[in-house]
Amino acid sequence: MKYQNFNQEIIELVGGKENIQAVVHCMTRLRFTLKDRSKADTEGLKALDGVIDVVSNQVAYQIIVGTHVSEVHKELTTMLGINDDAPTQQPKAKKNFVKAALDVVSESMTPILEPIICAGLLAAVLSILSLTGLISPESSTYIILDTLRSAVFYFLPIFMAMSCAKRLGANPYLAVALAVTILSDSINGVSGLTMFGIPLPEITYSNSFVPILLAVWVMGYVTKFIKRIVPNSLQLFLTPLLVMLIMLPATLLVFGPIGFYLGEGIIGIFTWLLDTVGAWFVMMLYAALQPFLIMLGAGNFIMPVVASLIAANGFDPAFITACTISDIAVGGAMLGYFLRTRNNKQKQLFGTVTLSAILGITEPAIYGVFVKYRRPFVAVIIGGGLGGLFAGITGVKAYSVAWGLFGLPSYIGEGDFSNLWFMVASVIISFVGAAVAAFLLGVPAEEDDSQEENAKSNQESEGKINLRTIPLKSVVKGQLVQLSEVSDQAFSSGALGKGVGLIPEADDIFSPVDGEVTVVFPTKHAVGIKGKNNEEVLIHIGIDTVELDGMGFDIDVQAGDQVKVGQKIGTVDFKSIKEAGYDTTTIVVVTNTNDYLDVIPETNRTVCDSDLSMNIIFE
């Protein structure tokens, strides 16, 4: 029992044996299901020698211990007396209905943001072309382009059906069939319809998301029930027919009316809030706090509300404006850090995430810098709050769903530029305010980092180190990003070793080194390889993909196999993983980084499997 004392301390600090309902593990962390999380001493666990970090979320209470987690887990379950026949299957966390609904909405919106953003930016381009007189609003060209913009929102139920079907256990094609049916001319917005003699209310399903979301949610349960009662030999013929015969009437009679009035109620609540409290307060609060929402994974939940507001009013009176102001404030905070720091490595990081934040992509800054330094949150609260307050007072409106610097033209009103100028002033206030605040707050631990960098530079200049390198190739074709930019704190902090992130553009996975496969996690989402120079490389495919239980992963090697650099070791269906709502970023780290002088990643760029991803430096 190598980890007996360590495990005994963990058991005591999580509240004792009686507080542990279940415990499983992934590649680096123990995932506890606790009966009462308030009994767990999180700070005590973080201070425990051998614990890298503790993460508590709706899925599980997670204690990150490193790549030897399987050994720790094996002894832990023995001490707990837990029958561990399936150690890799994650227990499903019990969620209340409201939390489950919020998760479904947020995760379902993520895959369909691209067409929504496209429509928003297209609206901005058309506004500019129309106001400058380059294209007449009555011309065929304008009408065709505007049709693309309007079609995205009109057919929102179809996008939502496809996006949430797999997440809710329904057949995506049957879900889309249901969506196109309720959008047909014979049903959508038609009055006087009856079904089985029951009058149907007049409902406009276009531009909505709640009715189809409720219908697909129930479709998942109906599908499972029918598959249990229909013989296997008749599944192909009877299951889709029975599902549709049940779901179409149920949607028109129940979920359609519920969803329609629920959607109207949501809009009414936000309209009341804006009318009574004021847009200035809503914008100020949301612009100041959006980074916290993104960090908690709730950044996309507001999108269905925004789509409904634009469909009902022709504009969004608060939220998209606040999103853009907050994003620009994040960029301002990173610029303040860029100007303040003297550390070259930090300058490179802050400069890179500054640009991405200004363009509307703030995750690299939030997960790579904000989580680590924390003070930027204060800077954004100051800058974003001031910008949001100004936008609210001046009544800025967003006429389409587009944020970031390139989304500003969408604030042009019909023949009126004043809305745009007020928005430009708002983002300037947020950017400057956050930059000044971040500069004054300073960069924590900067001096130590600078001293370490200078010492290393002096050592090299004096010729005291005769350097040799171990090159590591890319494991997948795609976009190489710095480890600090990935959205998993355990990896981005460098606690599990230095390395890189790769945003895949192909499905094949390759070995980065010559060596021996030491472990293939049963859910296939992670592979460990020990190179011929004793480098220990962990390939972690996707973030939180352990929850998929192997779905989409086809790994061709097993522990003990010898592999060559560039050898294909498996295939991953990244498209289905992304559609399921998971981040596909593939992380490659050298877990025994401390055994070497340094691990130096390549710069951000597009790489093929044969390209260099990082170098291990040793004497």
- Cβ partners under 8 Å of residue 557, min gap 6: 517, 520, 527, 563, 569, 570
Amino acid at 489: Q
In 10 A of CB 314, how many CB atoms? 11
DSSP H or E stretch at residue 339: helix 319-340
* Per-residue pLDDT tens digits for 451-508: 444 444 444 444 444 456 788 999 999 999 888 888 877 787 777 788 999 999 999 9
pLDDT, position 586: 94
- What is each CA distance from 355 to 328, 352, 365, 500, 502, in whole angstroms? 10, 6, 10, 20, 19
Strand partners, 56: 61
- Encode 121-130: b = buried (16+ Cβ within 10 Å), e = exposed: bbbbbbbebb
Structure-token pair, residue 252: 């028109």
pLDDT, position 58: 59
The three-state secondary structure class of 581 is coil
Q: Which residues are catalytic?
A: 26
* Per-residue pLDDT tens digits for 139-158: 999 889 889 878 887 888 89
566 pLDDT higher than 50: yes
- 351-380 average pLDDT score: 75
Strand partners, 473: 612
In 3D space, the residue among 455, 471, 479 whose CA is nearest the CA of residue 574 turns out to be: 479
- CATH 2.70.70.10, applies to 466-618: yes
45 pLDDT higher than 70: yes
Percent of the chain with pLDDT over 70: 83
Amino acid at 400: S
From-to residues of CATH 2.70.70.10 in the chain: 466-618
The three-state secondary structure class of 559 is coil
Mean pLDDT over each residue of the chain, to the nearest integer:
81
* Per-residue pLDDT tens digits for 206-233: 877 778 888 998 998 999 899 889 887 7
> Do 217 and 247 touch, CB atoms closer than 8 A?
no
- 584-602 average pLDDT score: 86
Our separate counts of H helices and E strands in the chain read: 22, 20
- The angle subtended at Cα 93 by Cα 88 and Cα 98, nearest 5°, is 150
Q: Where are the beta strands (DSSP E) in 370-431?
A: none
> Of the given ranges (169-178, 495-504, 610-619), which has the lowest mean pLDDT?
610-619
- What is each CA distance from 71 to 53, 76, 526, in whole angstroms? 18, 9, 16
pLDDT, position 452: 43
pLDDT, position 98: 58
> Do 514 and 565 touch, CB atoms closer than 8 A?
yes
Higher per-residue pLDDT: 111 or 547: 547
d(C-alpha 107, C-alpha 409), whole Å: 28
Q: Where do we find the tokens 């996707």?
A: 542
> Do 547 and 90 touch, CB atoms closer than 8 A?
yes
> Do 508 and 472 touch, CB atoms closer than 8 A?
no
This prediction's pTM: 0.45
Higher per-residue pLDDT: 1 or 523: 523
Structure-token pair, residue 23: 């415990």
d(C-alpha 406, C-alpha 175), whole Å: 34
84 pLDDT higher than 50: no
Q: For 347, phi and psi rounded to 5 degrees?
A: -60, -45
From-to residues of CATH 3.30.1360.60 in the chain: 4-94
pLDDT, position 306: 76
Higher per-residue pLDDT: 448 or 432: 432
368 pLDDT higher than 70: no
323 pLDDT higher than 90: no
Amino acid at 54: V
- 350-372 average pLDDT score: 71
106 pLDDT higher than 80: no
Structure-token pair, residue 488: 């998993």
pLDDT, position 258: 86
Confidence of residue 383 (pLDDT cuts 50, 70, 90): very high
DSSP H or E stretch at residue 618: strand 612-618
Q: At what angle do helices 279-295 and 375-394 cross, to 10 degrees?
A: 150
Amino acid at 385: G
d(C-alpha 277, C-alpha 607), whole Å: 51
d(C-alpha 413, C-alpha 127), whole Å: 8
Which of the following CATH numbers is that of domain 4-94: 3.40.50.720, 3.30.1360.60, 2.30.330.10, 3.40.1710.10? 3.30.1360.60
Q: In what order do the strands lie in the sheet with 605-607?
A: 562-563, 515-520, 526-531, 536-543, 583-590, 498-504, 478-482, 605-607
